[in-house]
Amino acid sequence: MTGVNDLQALTTSIGEFTVDALGRESIAGLQVVMEAVDHLGHISIALKDNSDAEQKRVLRELFEIERMYYDDAALAFEFVDAVDPDLPAKSNVPVYSYA
């Protein structure tokens, strides 16, 4: 069974890899919230340029990220206007935030 520290390490790894893959210059904010029971990671992405073309570019990268972590977690993605800066403090599950 995966411990909390291992789950936080996985969450951080997914978050850092996603930021690097998408490009720091294109991200206004990103959060990964990992469910401990089923290892479902919810990735919220706020783009600086939220155009259809940029979202399509990012989606292609997200498919690669999903493949990278296929054995470790199921990932769900959503585009948001902004990430919640207070989420890590009020959450009791592993969270990675980049803003």
- What's the CA gap between 24 and 22, in Å, rounded? 7
The angle at the Cα of 51, spanning 76 to 84, to the nearest 5 degrees, equals 50
Collapse the DSSP code of 29 into the 3-class scheme (helix H, G, I; strand E, B; otherwise coil) and give the result: strand
- Answering whether pTM is above 0.85, one says yes
Over the stretch 4-42, which tens digit does the pLDDT of each residue have? 689 999 999 999 999 999 999 999 999 999 998 899 999
pLDDT digits (tens, 9 = 90+) for 32-85: 999 988 999 999 999 999 999 999 999 999 999 999 999 999 999 999 999 988
Which region holds residue 23: left if phi is over 0, alpha if psi is between -120 and 50, else beta? left
Q: Which CATH class is domain 4-98?
A: alpha beta
